[in-house]
Amino acid sequence: MFSQRSLAIIAMFFVSLGYVFMNVASRWMNLALPPMTQVYLRIFGALFLIGFFFRKDISLHKIFTLKPKDWVALTLMGVFGYGLMIYAITQGALLTTLLSVSVLYSTVPFWVYLFGIILFHRPWRWDVIGLITLSIWGVGLLAGRSWLPLPANFGLGERYVLISAIFEAVWFIGIKFIEGKLNSRELTLISLAIAGLTCLTISLFMGESFSLSAFSNWRVVAGLIFGTLSNIWVPFLTVFAFKYLDEVFATQLFLFENIFTFVIGRVFYGEKVGLLALAGATAVISSVYLMNKRQTI
């Protein structure tokens, strides 16, 4: 009925929705669980479910015969592209508005482009550089809350989101390095395992702890369920979509997240959008859209 490309586009639609659910889940779980703890609980929950339901699709022989350079890419994807990325965006969702999280996270394509220049020796394009400058100004408006944005005025939450966008670009670049060597279930399983162990280790060093009584709060339980399920379908569908879509076009579809976030933030949290935030969001979203359009010409 649907072509593989059409299914990939639909998949990215649900990926965008998944990131919104992650942000909401972070707020619910924060009622009783520290940030890094809730991150590794969601990741390990997803890891267990994937290992159980997709065990027949996972080849241990294929995994253990990967080359060292493949494991380097997988480690970077697991540690930075997923584990620390989820932690950073979780902190952002706790410290700033959902709309700010969504819009600032939309800068992922720019980081993918810059990494492409460094790693794949792609040529500089002055039109893209101009759009990056416009996006930086938009980020400054949104994060610095001033018509003359300065990095010193950025809130801590906004800084976390920008860091998560950089780390997410590592995930996308890593997919291109591993493409064809593992199926989507195997790649997701390994990345989640590395991410979960990374976050658990950091949590122990940070001295975080939790009590089972935390799960007496229904919002914490609901947040864990939503967060776990999102940690399953987001990486799984992203890997699937990248097999049939150009990475630049695929990241453009992430702009759907801004629509979902605006509605949820407004309806459930009463978040208001001021003139500066609206101008900044418009500048970022427009520049990302135009850059992706030029990349696909």
pLDDT at 295 over 60: no
pLDDT at 214 over 80: yes
**DSSP string spanning 272-297?**
---HHHHHHHHHHHHHHHHHHHHHT-
pLDDT at 117 over 90: no
Question: Rounded to 5 degrees, what angle do the CA atoms 217, 221, 225 make?
Answer: 165
Q: Across residues 99-128, what is the average pLDDT?
A: 76
Q: Say what percent of the chain tops pLDDT 90.
A: 22
Q: Are 107 and 223 in contact (CB under 8 A)?
A: no
pLDDT at 265 over 80: no
Grade residue 141 by pLDDT with cuts at 50, 70 and 90. Answer: low
> In whole angstroms, what separates CA 181 from the centre of its chain?
23
Tokens found for residue 208: 């975080």
| pTM (predicted TM-score) | 0.78
Closest CA to 184 of 144, 232, 217: 232
pLDDT at 140 over 80: no
Q: What is the pLDDT of residue 297?
A: 43
Half-sphere exposure of 92 (CA within 13 A, CB side): 28
Q: What is the pLDDT of residue 245?
A: 75
Q: What is the pLDDT of residue 146?
A: 63
Task: Write phi, then psi, for 179 (nearest 5 degrees).
Answer: -50, 130
Q: What is the residue extent of each domain of the chain?
A: 4-295
**Token pair 């997709």: residue:** 54
CA dist 279 and 145 (Å) reads 10
Q: What is the mean pLDDT of the chain?
A: 81
| 19, 22, 44, 136, 170 from 15: Cα distances, Å | 7, 11, 19, 25, 17
Give the model confidence (pLDDT) of 97-110 as tens digits.
877 787 778 778 77
Q: Across residues 114-122, what is the average pLDDT?
A: 77
pLDDT at 256 over 80: no
